[in-house]
Structure 1
Amino acid sequence: MADILLYTSLFLIWAMLFYHMFLMQGGYRHSIEYRRTKERWEKKPFHYPSVSVLIPAHNEEMVIEETMKAMLNLNYPEDKIEVIVINDNSSDATGEIVDAYVKKYPRIKAVHTKPPHAGKGKSGALNQGLKKSAGDVIVVYDADNTPEPDAVRYLALGIENDAKAGAVVGKFRVTNGSKNLLTRLINIETITFQWLAQAGRWFWFKMATIPGTNFAIRRSILEKLGGWDEKALSEDTELSFRVYNLGYHIRFFPAAITWEQEPEVLKVWWKQRTRWARGNEYVIFKYLFSLHKLEKKKIVIDLVYFLFTYLLFFGGVMISHSIFILNLFWDLNLSMGMVSYVLLVLGFLLFVTEVTLSLSFERGQLTWKNFAVVLFMYFTYSQLWIILVVYASFLEAKRILFKQEVKWYKTQRFQGKQTNENRSAS
């Protein structure tokens, strides 16, 4: 029995590792290709579409002013852009700060939501902002974001030059990546996700996941879909699946860059990532049991990827870890013997290789310090993710079983100016 479980777990783990190797090749090729695409597009005459930037904000007084300054610094025609901040039932000074900018700058507008249709989550706030917007293209930024001046222009450039793109996704970087060990780990995770999962999937399958920030989507698509799903904790992933189902692709265009703050303490990270994991599991089961209703079967590629990531892969890792630990104390008579240990070591080396390759795509990120953090990451941060997914799965199962209401957790922000160390490396 132990042999069967071990073989099964190793198959699941190595299937994911090989798939990631495949994605990394695509990520590398896209890191070269997108620059050529950008140069080609910039040589063509560009018709600026009207843009509405939506910024949902709930108790964001620590960060909202920096975001407002970044919005004013965007290189986009004044008569073609509006910035709508949805002050979602904030109890702090968020509303007052935003209103001060509204009075001074015509491009900034405010929507102040009140109960009962307020303070329930990002999706609801975005739907309120969508109703008040007028742009043909909707761009979304989180309230802690400071996009680079050309970010919105590049997102719009992608929409205008790619008729099949229902949405265009930019790149996000971490402003506080050197604050402490946790933010360094998150910074490495963020870079790896974008160049491996986003760039790799785009290159091979013309698919990418809409993130929570720094993306543009056609207004016509949002109206056809009825806006954001207010029951989804990962509203971005859920929206991605519906865009695919309309027959559009989602382009990853890393020329559009934004900077965002990440959790600086483990408690905040845990709550944020638990919401992400639960949200993605919601999406998996929402579409897994309605495959027959989907018009575009290409969605299955991403559905299998998420299913593998959150259930099968993590399940395989848990089984292999359990057998490894048990075999240290009791002889389980494993037929593989030392081969299983060799495979575990090779898996670790492959993990390190993939992450360091991702770091090499960002100037100034492949350093000896970051390499040491990557080694540490495998044995700590990555293993913590396994525990987190188990916990999130338990909460999601309990919610379904007892028909509990979905509760949104708003990520806590941190006071203080963010370092510019990482910005110089973009």
Structure 2
Amino acid sequence: MADVFLYISVFLIWLMLFYHAFLMSGGYFHFLKYRKFNKVLETPLEDYPTVSILIPAHNEEVVIRDTIEAMIALTYPKDKLEVIVINDNSSDDTGPIIERYAREYSFVQAVSTKPPNAGKGKSSALNQGLKASSGDIIIVYDADNTPEPDAVTYLALGLLQDKKAGAMVGKFRVINAQKNLLTGLINIETLTFQWLAQAGRWFWFKMTTIPGTNFAIRRSVLEELAGWDEKALSEDTELSIRVYNMGYYIRFFPSAITWEQEPETLRVWWKQRTRWARGNQYVILKYLFKLHQLKNKKVILDIFYFLFTYFFFFAGALLSQGIFVVNLMTDLELSMGDVSGVLLIIGFLLFVTEICLALSMEKNQLTWKNFFIILLMYFTYSQMWIFLVVYSSYLEIKRVLFKQDVRWYKTQRFKQAGKEEKPSA
């Protein structure tokens, strides 16, 4: 019986490894050609589209000044721009900070959520901001984001030029990557995700997932979809599926860059990533039994990708490790023998190769320091994800069985020691 479980786990793990290798090759091809789209945007426009930037903010006094200052520094024509900062039931100085900027700059607008919608989470705050906005294009940034000056121009004009795109997704970078080992690991994870999952899926399938920040979406699309799903903890993934189902695709455009702060402690990382995992599990279960109702059948590919990522792959990894531990204590007489060890080594080398390829696409990221972090990452950070997914699955099952309300966890921010210069993109 142990043999059967081991073969199943190896199949699940290697199926995902091969698929990731396939995606990474697509990510590299996209890296070689995506700048051609920049040239399309260089054509002078007589009239820019109106843009509304939505920034939900709950207790963000540590970072909100830098975010609003980055909006002020944008190169997009200010007469076509409105920056709507949504103060979502903050108990700190977030509200007064926003209001001071709103008094000084005419294109900055302060919006405060009202009961019963106050403090219900990001989706609810975004829906309130959408009601207060007037732009033809809606762009979303988290409250810890400092986009580069041309980011909004790339997103808005990219969406204007590509009529088949319902949304345009930019790239995000980690501004505190050098803070400690954890932020260094997150930086590597972030870059790999974008060039593998985002760029790779766009190149091969014309599919990309809307992230929580640095994306543009047509107002007409949002209004037809009735905004964001307020029950979804991963509102971005859920929105992506509905955009696909309208017949649009979502384009990944790395020229639009924003910088964001990542968790600096394991406690904050665990809570944030648990919310992400639970949110994606909610999306999987929401649509898994409605596949026949989806108009765009290509969406099924993405749903099964998330299903394998958050259920089958991690189940296979947990199963194989459990068999390994038990086999150390008692001989299970496994028929694979040395083959399993060879597969483990090859899988590790494939893991390292894929991440090194992703880092090679970013200036100054493929360094010896990061190479050794990648080696460590396989045995530490990646293993933590297994236990996190198991834990989040338990929480989601409990929520469904006991009909518990969804609780939004707002990621804790960290004050930076002095004004750090952004690393080279």
- TM-score, length-scaled by structure 2: 0.99
CA distance in 1 between partners of 2:394 and 2:185 (Å) = 25
Matched position secondary structure for 1:15: helix
Aligned length: 425
1:335 and 2:335 aligned: yes
Give a deviation string over 1:280-320, Cα, whole Å, max 9, x none: 00000100011111111110110010000000000000111
- The match for 1:53 is 53
- Cα contact 1:365–1:425 (8 A) shared by 2: no
Q: Which amino acid aligns with 1:174?
A: V
- Cα contact 2:41–2:154 (8 A) shared by 1: no
CA distance in 1 between partners of 2:136 and 2:147 (Å) = 20
- The match for 1:406 is 406
CA distance in 2 between partners of 1:193 and 1:420 (Å) = 25
Of residues 408-417 and 90-99 in structure 1, the stretch that sits farther from structure 2 once superposed is 408-417
Q: Which amino acid aligns with 1:380?
A: T
- The match for 1:356 is 356
Matched position secondary structure for 2:405: coil
CA distance in 2 between partners of 1:102 and 1:42 (Å) = 32
CA distance in 2 between partners of 1:83 and 1:44 (Å) = 24
Give a deviation string over 1:103-158, Cα, whole Å, max 9, x none: 10001001011332110100000000000000000000000000000000000121
- The match for 2:105 is 105
CA distance in 2 between partners of 1:308 and 1:417 (Å) = 41
- The match for 1:30 is 30
Q: Which amino acid aligns with 1:229?
A: D
In the TM superposition, residue 41 of structure 1 has moved relative to its aligned partner by 2.9
- The match for 1:288 is 288
- The match for 1:378 is 378
CA distance in 1 between partners of 2:82 and 2:24 (Å) = 37
CA distance in 2 between partners of 1:400 and 1:377 (Å) = 33
- Cα contact 1:86–1:110 (8 A) shared by 2: yes
- The match for 1:345 is 345
Give a deviation string over 1:45-99, Cα, whole Å, max 9, x none: 4742100000000000000000010000000111100000000010000000000
Cα RMSD (Å)? 1.0
Matched position secondary structure for 2:295: coil
- The match for 2:227 is 227
- Cα contact 2:359–2:365 (8 A) shared by 1: yes
The structure-2 alpha-carbon separation of the partners of 1:377 and 1:418, relative to structure 1 and needing over 3 Å to count, comes to: farther
In the TM superposition, residue 40 of structure 1 has moved relative to its aligned partner by 3.3
Segments of 5+ residues of structure 1 without an aligned counterpart are none
Matched position secondary structure for 2:35: helix
1:242-257 to structure 2, matched below 5 A, reads 242-257=242-257
- Cα contact 1:89–1:115 (8 A) shared by 2: no
Matched position secondary structure for 1:163: coil
Greater than 6 Å deviation, 4+ residue runs = none
- The match for 1:396 is 396
- The match for 2:272 is 272
Matched position secondary structure for 2:171: strand
- Cα contact 1:46–1:157 (8 A) shared by 2: no
1:67-86 to structure 2, matched below 5 A, reads 67-86=67-86
CA distance in 2 between partners of 1:104 and 1:337 (Å) = 71
CA distance in 2 between partners of 1:222 and 1:238 (Å) = 13
- Cα contact 2:74–2:150 (8 A) shared by 1: yes
CA distance in 1 between partners of 2:3 and 2:19 (Å) = 24
Q: Which amino acid aligns with 1:339?
A: V
Identity of aligned residues (%): 69
Matched position secondary structure for 2:254: strand
- Cα contact 2:137–2:217 (8 A) shared by 1: yes
Q: Which amino acid aligns with 2:309?
A: T
CA distance in 1 between partners of 2:112 and 2:9 (Å) = 50
In the TM superposition, residue 39 of structure 1 has moved relative to its aligned partner by 2.1
- The match for 1:182 is 182
CA distance in 2 between partners of 1:140 and 1:409 (Å) = 19
Give a deviation string over 1:179-203, Cα, whole Å, max 9, x none: 0000000000000000000000000
- The match for 1:114 is 114
CA distance in 2 between partners of 1:276 and 1:338 (Å) = 37
1:425 and 2:401 aligned: no
CA distance in 1 between partners of 2:410 and 2:423 (Å) = 29
In the TM superposition, residue 38 of structure 1 has moved relative to its aligned partner by 1.1
In the TM superposition, residue 418 of structure 1 has moved relative to its aligned partner by 6.8
In the TM superposition, residue 351 of structure 1 has moved relative to its aligned partner by 0.4
Give a deviation string over 1:235-283, Cα, whole Å, max 9, x none: 0000000000000000000000000000000000000000000000000
- Cα contact 1:176–1:419 (8 A) shared by 2: no
In the TM superposition, residue 329 of structure 1 has moved relative to its aligned partner by 1.5
In the TM superposition, residue 43 of structure 1 has moved relative to its aligned partner by 3.8
- The match for 1:201 is 201
Segments of 5+ residues of structure 2 without an aligned counterpart are none
Of residues 89-98 and 37-46 in structure 1, the stretch that sits farther from structure 2 once superposed is 37-46
The structure-2 alpha-carbon separation of the partners of 1:117 and 1:40, relative to structure 1 and needing over 3 Å to count, comes to: closer
